[in-house]
Structure 1
């Protein structure tokens, strides 16, 4: 007899899952029975939140989901934060958990790891949460999860198996992958209406979001056909090449660019929420004075934050290709558009605080030392600066937790997941001294796996971004000047290499050495010194 837990592993393998993050517990050990007979590789983080962040970084870098095996109760509440970040950023993640036996659910008898309703608790940070009450449900619910990953707006999916279902016989279940692999295409009539609006626009403006990250060629073709100033959200960075004459990079939240957006007569928004952290970070509301054309794979997203004149529910690649074709023969004033972009980029740079400009030069130094680097960032000051300035060469090479959900502790485990997905590319974690203390135990995971990750520790001795926010509002700075441990000693205790460079040249040397090492290196950067190096 093969159990439901064993067959689940075979089904995951059929769908192309090759990586599992998890910490075995007495309620999940039956999920592990089938792993030795599969091609799935299991990695053990030091906390379930780390498992979720690793799966997040893996999915962004690999372009496909990983799975997490998570125990009932505390395992699920631990991973909920990571699922919330992935849900906010539309990152696919398959979370498989146990739950108490089906005849014990909801009784409140004090069983091990018991929650009143685990599935209901997790449903708020997942596209859906499904409790498998019969082994026969398993193939269908996994197929449903992959339909979300491959044909809809992706996000975390939670499947929970009661203890008696995990061990139930599943010999007769189909192990085959039942995939849709089909994305919704655009309505031709809506494409024609959008093209007519854009052809007639005197001051068009485009905003590309993370929903375009899988379609850089289609995005570039559309932008060049349209000839409009184009801003990239954080998760769209790299969709247009660095310095492209029509690209405003990440300058959208800055006043000169927002003014231009407000005055545009037609705004094309593709694969973006037009959310606060991407568009109006420094003002209360997003103001759009012109007509809006929106393209998004999720119908409800088409009407959030800005009501459209034309709404196109479609995969972004298919819609952008169709819109480019519909604009065939259109001849925009490219000279005027590129000159406007040049002026806006200069004005936006001037509007940046000096520290943010220094953060941009710091990130340029990282990219110069490590060509093709993937940077997984936390909610820390140079990440905020980088969100406005950094222009990676490829999509999914700059991502962080300062957008949307905005958690701390993301950068280190997400970098581990990205490195496991892309061992061929340099991967760095960028995290503050406060954020690192949330997930510092994952240094042990990095050492155990021998991952050559430079951990760029931006040390401002506390919660510097929040402290500045409080100072700007004359609020007493309570709770932000936290004790700063000796990170060099801690790093060595975990078995890491550790450096504290005293110059920009020493930093570059440490960075290059770290990327070639046989394990992680904590590179501690003193903020005051760094701002003099790159200021």
Structure 2
């Protein structure tokens, strides 16, 4: 293709397509219709949620399973402010998200004349939580701005990138030359850093590996490193399933005493792509995570290496590139460090340290994983998910993620599950959501129906905000405001045309999941904390 003349809106779609975007999530409005001009003729699929918050969470779920940026297309003003919560969740969990919004015409910006959807300074508002927020004032700058956006999304610590396009710019004509996908790579460790880590690996007799979400893309290489060093692998919430079922896997939270003791007893701990933040490492805010004398931190973000746990060696690199350089140097190294036995002991101690109620909830999660091999479990902030974050082995990389960590946005699970299903339509997705959380985004059931997402909504009904109710009781506070009424979820499902079932016994769960998965498309199963036998201790 030579140089062509197109509108900014049409050129935007071409640039997205050239960079591998096949799905966008959004609700069109008068402030974005010009961005839709080229969409129908493209190969990009448009998914319409019921609320822009749903668009952002869908983009998040899509990004987690594909590794590509999730794209949300929203109007100026309320469309963008509705997307702020998903952007904040993506920022906290380092998820690549591209949010493209409209904004009022250039001549009106900053004048406060009461234009429809006007904000005092929309770009400044978003820039506090986005690695990049740019207002496209010059139409011809579009290709360069989009190149910068994709370079940030693919080579830096992931997060939400925002581009706003004034309504008078969208229809302007620009010249567009041949397009290519942006090729960018993140930082790579220096040879000295690789040699320093190599020396530590060869000398260690009780090594351990900590994995965060930044290690998921390197799952195969992480497994190879673990086997080479005979090192147990502790996975944080966003890394669960990275070592699915492996004897060296420890799918337990570093907030648990047993895991902390295990790490403290290791003479080398390599932390790969993990923020080492409170919601993974100090969930109970007791300050009990140990100081580790031989901690190595590997991170894509130089600032993150200066925060949190102090390390004896800090390596600025993507996990993929570091292991690509390190593993060949360890080709002749085969340690015998009792890794499988150390991992088994840690797993057993971690699980034993949980309450009977938590263990019963984890057992239900185990049923889901075994009933639907290869499934992804996407969670909302509900009690079973909190228990799973403490201890649960997902069946695959990116097979477990939720909002009960990081930013902790309630209502995340259902739209994120839809996005995950669209990103990998061959894998069954089970969304574990509470009756309270589901009501934040209840209408997205209709979005799932519209796009045929293979999502089973498993409603964990505990008559309100059960986790908060329990917390208030534990603090000696009379529970208040935690018992919002719920609709009959089966009737809601029927209204949207979804098959549904209410279980009397957890023993029926595996069969129910298999039946619903066989039907294809979205469905709903409800379990009740006290009304379903075996749900919890």
Q: Contact 1:222/1:321 (CA < 8 Å) preserved in 2?
A: no
RMSD: 1.7
Aligned counterpart in structure 2 of residue 501 of structure 1, from 500, 503, 507:
503
CA contact (8 A) 2:253 2:259 kept: yes
Partner Cα distance (1:531, 1:198) in 2? 49
Say whether 1:216 aligns with 2:242.
no
- Structure 2: runs of 5 or more not aligned: none
Aligned to 1:90: 94
Cα distance per residue 1:482-508 (max 9 Å; x no partner):
222222222222222221011234322
Tell me the secondary structure at the aligned position of residue 298 of structure 2.
strand
The 8 Å contact of residues 254 and 282 in structure 1, kept in 2 or not, is answered as no
Secondary structure of the structure 1 residue equivalent to 2:234: strand
Where 2:350 maps in the other structure, the secondary structure is helix
Instruction: Decide which moves more: 433-442 or 227-236.
Output: 227-236
Shift of 1:509: 2.5
How far apart in 2 are the matches of 1:343 and 1:14? Answer: 50
Query: Residue in 2 aligned with 1:467?
Result: 469
1:168 aligns with 2:154: no
Give the Cα separation in 2 of the matches to 1:320 and 1:354: 39
> Which residue of 1 is the match for residue 262 of structure 2?
260
Match of 1:50 in 2: 54
Superposed displacement of residue 203, structure 1: 3.7
User: More displaced, 178-187 or 439-448?
Assistant: 178-187
- 2:159 aligns to what? 155
- Is the alpha carbon distance of 1:530 and 1:305 closer, same or farther for their aligned partners in structure 2, counting shifts above 3 Å? farther
Select which of 310, 313, 327 maps to 2:313: 310
Shift of 1:326: 3.5
Number of positions where the alignment pairs a residue of Structure 1 with one of Structure 2: 532
SS of 1:289's equivalent in the other structure is: coil
Q: What does 1:23-102 correspond to in 2, within 5 Å?
A: 23-102=27-106
Could you tell me how far 1:12 is from its partner in structure 2?
Answer: 0.9
- Superposition pairs of residues 217-236 of structure 1, within 5 angstroms: 217-236=220-239
Calculate the TM-score normalised by the size of structure 2.
Answer: 0.95
| Aligned counterpart, 2:519 | 517
Task: Give TM-score, length-normalised by structure 1.
Answer: 0.96
Aligned counterpart in structure 2 of residue 190 of structure 1, from 193, 203, 206 = 193
Contact 2:382 2:437 in 1 (8 A): yes
Q: Deviations over 1:275-316 (max 9, x none)?
A: 112122134223223122111111111121112211111110
Within 1, Cα distance between the matches of 2:181 and 2:448? Answer: 35
Q: Which moved more, 1:445-454 or 1:138-147?
A: 445-454
Residue 339 of structure 2 corresponds to 337
Question: Quick check: 1:263–1:288 contact (8 Å CA) kept in 2?
Answer: no
How far 1:324 sits from its partner (Å)? Answer: 2.8
How far 1:357 moved relative to its partner?
1.0
> By how many angstroms is 1:177 displaced?
2.6
1:118 to partner: Cα distance: 0.6
- Between stretches 121-130 and 509-518, larger displacement belongs to 509-518
SS of the counterpart of 1:532? Answer: coil
Partner Cα separation in structure 2 for residue 518 and residue 462 of structure 1: 30
Q: Distance in 1 between matches of 2:370 and 2:334?
A: 37
The answer to whether structure 1 residue 144 and structure 2 residue 152 are counterparts is no
Aligned to 1:125: 129
Unaligned ranges ≥5, structure 1: none
2: CA distance, partners of 1:180 / 1:232? 30
Worse-matched range after superposition: 435-444 or 492-501: 492-501
Q: Please, which moves more after superposition, 345-354 or 503-512?
A: 503-512
What is the DSSP-based 3-state SS (H/G/I as helix, E as strand, rest coil) of the residue aligned with 1:523? strand
Contact 1:90 1:155 in 2 (8 A): yes
For residues 366 and 395 of structure 2, the distance between their equivalents in structure 1, rounded to whole angstroms, comes to: 12
